[in-house]
Amino acid sequence: MRGEEKSRKQNNRINAFLLLTFLILGLIGVYYCNEKYGGKILQFGSAASNHGEDVDNMLKITIIITGIVFVITQVALFWFAYKYQESDKRKAFFYPHNNKLEVIWTAIPAIVLTVMVGFGLFYWFRITGEAPDGAMQVEVTGSQFKWEFRYPGRDGKLGKKYFKAINEGANNPLGQLWEDSTNKDDIYSVQEDLHLVVNKPVKLVINAKDVIHDVGLTHFRLKMDAVPGTPTTMWFTPTKTTAQMKKEMNDPEFVYEISCDQMCGQGHFKMRGTIVVESQEEFDLWMSKQTPKFYLAFPEKAPGYKAPADTLTNKIAAAVVPQQKQ
């Protein structure tokens, strides 16, 4: 039993020293990681949508506040453990409770966190709420493993659809109900560029055909789950054209991307779509070149349709095409 107190005191000193070392090495580590990875958090240039700027600011403020609190609390914790280690020169002061202190350190974090969560909720409700008047609408459908886009066409309305009407072979991959006349001018594209107009709000109506996917729009700082059976929506205003971003990022290859942000299966990585943000004129020009899916499903109903003449070439074509389909 002899020497027990001495070794306890020695252990205490070692522990106190180790706590201080841990504090210093820990803070150096935090600084180092920040230097090394800080620039990679948002390496996608500045936000390219109206909401994106708010989201970036919110993130910045959150990191600053939590960063300051982190440093103060960690330094206090480990420094006090070192400074007030056991000593023969002083006696511990018994101080078990103080209501005023309890209230202060409960109320201040509660208020700060409520304000931060409040901002998040405010932005969330705005992003998922009603789009401004005059917003364009695009339907985005995720399936294993691709994105499909549908534009409402000239009438501005997306036609009705029903999952049992889905028939890839009959040119109806989304299950559009052709008896609904608003379907007849709807434009469909798959995996190709999603075309958006700069400074024009767009509302995305998001669907999924099989499992849960997620529309991830990194450059616009937005994402939204694509859930089978339950359409989700979000709206935003792109603020920079693809050409502007190419210049800003100093990257002639730059494209806006739409990624799938849910692990949705083996081909998850393939769900990369691209987005073109362009002027209204460019968009109109692109749109004028598109053929509504209805006319692809029923070519004989397209304006200016001519029944193929009974020539030898057409007979060969008619014989060959169905085979190629398989």
Using CB under 5 A as the criterion, which residues of the chain lie in contact with Cu ion when the complex forms?
A: 213, 260, 264, 271
Shortest distance in whole angstroms from residue 263 CB to Cu ion:
8
Token pair of 163, please? 């999952």
Strand partners, 167: 172
Shortest distance in whole angstroms from residue 190 CB to Cu ion:
14
- The answer to whether the CB of 53 falls within 8 A of the CB of 226 is no
DSSP state at residue 154: T
The smaller minimum CB distance to Cu ion, of residues 74 and 144, is found at 144
Shortest distance in whole angstroms from residue 229 CB to Cu ion:
16
The smaller minimum CB distance to Cu ion, of residues 58 and 211, is found at 211
What is the Rg, in whole angstroms, of the alpha carbon atoms belonging to the chain?
30
Closest of 201, 194, 203, 273 to residue 234, by C-alpha: 203
Token pair of 151, please? 């534009």
Instruction: Quote the CA–CA distance of 27 and 10 in Å, as a whole number.
Output: 26
The smaller minimum CB distance to Cu ion, of residues 196 and 264, is found at 264
* Phi–psi pair at 265, nearest 5 degrees: 140, -175
The smaller minimum CB distance to Cu ion, of residues 198 and 275, is found at 275
Shortest distance in whole angstroms from residue 193 CB to Cu ion:
18
Shortest distance in whole angstroms from residue 214 CB to Cu ion:
7
155, 161, 166, 167: CA torsion to nearest 10: -40
The smaller minimum CB distance to Cu ion, of residues 198 and 215, is found at 215
Tokens 């799938």, located at residue: 260
Shortest distance in whole angstroms from residue 196 CB to Cu ion:
21
The smaller minimum CB distance to Cu ion, of residues 136 and 260, is found at 260
